[in-house]
Amino acid sequence: MAAYLAADPRVEWVSFAGFPDHPYHHLVQRYLNGRVPSIITFGAAGGYEAGLAFFDALQLFKRLLNLGDAKSLAIHPASTTHRQLSQTELVAAGIRPETIRLSIGLEHIDDLIADIDQALDKATG
């Protein structure tokens, strides 16, 4: 999923500890023997509005505040968990307006990609 998102022109950036250039990749190798957690953070092209539109368009992913479940979950922190913060505080917390966090669950990858694809279409189209 991280590689799919990184290759998509509708996505501005992707952060995934499984990527060799991730700042904590070496810690995954050292402490988790290379077993990368299924958490992916990315930004839909278009800022806050695109991030929120993406989040609202998801159908298979559960839109929940917790991460780490057997179900695939998503959150748009700028409009949910961190909505009370100012723009300056969001930046200080490492949260961009378009930030989406995904926790990949047990659903089939083709179904998850289809959901991501349709949501990106609605968010950036």
* Rounded (5°) CA angle 36-40-42: 150
Give mean pLDDT, residues 75-95: 82
**What is the reported pTM?**
0.87
Tally the domains of the chain.
1
Helix (H) or strand (E) holding 13, with range, is strand 11-15
Helix (H) or strand (E) holding 27, with range, is helix 25-31
Specify the range with the lowest mean pLDDT, choosing from 6-10, 33-37, 73-77, 80-84: 80-84
**pLDDT: which is higher, 24 or 68:** 24
Give 70's pLDDT tier (boundaries 50, 70, 90). Answer: confident
Give 67's pLDDT tier (boundaries 50, 70, 90). Answer: low
CATH of residue 109's domain is 3.90.1150.10
Helix (H, G, I), strand (E, B) or coil at 42: strand
Q: Is 88 exposed, middle or buried (0-12, 13-18, 19+ CB in 10 A)?
A: exposed
- pLDDT for 88 equals 86
Give residue 94's domain range.
2-124
